[in-house]
Amino acid sequence: MTESRLEKIKILILDADGVLTRGEILYTGAELESKAFNVKDGFGIRMLKDAGIMVGVITGRHSEAIERRAKELGLDFCRQGVKDKSSLLAAILEQAGCSPEESAFVGDDIPDISVMKSAGLGIAVADAHETVRECADMVTANSGGNGAVREVCESILKAKGLWEGILKSWA
C-alpha cells in the first residue's frame, strides 16, 4: 500500500533539524551555529528534482545554514520559523497545484505530527520520537541526517518506475 502512495508523490516536504541533519546544533560563536548535512541525502534530493518532483523544507527554527543548503540544492521552497506547519502545507499545496495525496512529509518530532497527518504520506525517520513513528505511514531504516532523506527519495523514484533509468544514466 505504501508503494502505491509513493507513486503519487509530486511534492516532498522535509523538516530540517533531525531530518536533513542529525538534530545537533553546534554554536561556534555569539551568533553562529553549525550543522552537518549528508551529501547522499543531497544527491537523493537532486535526483528527485531532476525527475520533476518538487522538494522543500518547512521547519520551526530559523538557520542560515538551512537557508544556504536549500539554495545549494535548488529547493522549491524553504520556510523557516513556522509554528503551524499544517496550515502552511495547505497553502504550499494549493500554490503548487497538488492535492494532499500527492504530498509526503518527513519529520522526526512532536511538532511534525499534524503536518504528517495532513500530507498524503507521513514519514518518520528511524530515530524519530516514538510517538511520531507510531503516527507515521512509513518509517525509514536510516536516521535523520544519516541517509533517511536519500532512502525516501529512492523509494519515491522506485515506486514511480524511474530508478532503473537513473542508474542507467550514470552507468
Q: Are 13 and 70 in contact (CB under 8 A)?
A: no
Q: pLDDT band for 2, please (50, 70, 90 cuts).
A: confident
Spatial separation of the C-alpha atoms in residues 159 and 8, rounded to whole Å: 9
Average pLDDT over residues 105-122: 97
Band of pLDDT at residue 33, cut at 50, 70 and 90? confident
Indicate yes or no: pTM above 0.85: yes
Asked whether residue 29 carries a pLDDT value surpassing 80, the answer given is: no
Q: How confident is the model at residue 23 (pLDDT cuts 50, 70, 90)?
A: confident
- Quick one: average pLDDT of 143-162? 98
pLDDT at residue 13 tops 70? yes
pLDDT at position 1: 63
Amino acid at 110: I
Q: Which fold has domain 2-170?
A: Rossmann fold (3.40.50)
Separation in Å, CA 120 to CA 36, 71, 97 = 29, 26, 14
Q: For the chain, give the mean pLDDT.
A: 95
The cell numbers describing 102, all together, are 500527492
Lowest mean pLDDT among 13-22, 25-34, 70-79, 103-112: 25-34
Minimal CA–CA distance to 21: which of 43, 33, 39, 36? Answer: 36
pLDDT digits (tens, 9 = 90+) for 70-112: 999 999 999 999 999 989 999 999 999 999 999 999 999 999 9
* Residue 12 CB burial class (10 angstroms; 0-12, 13-18, ≥19): buried
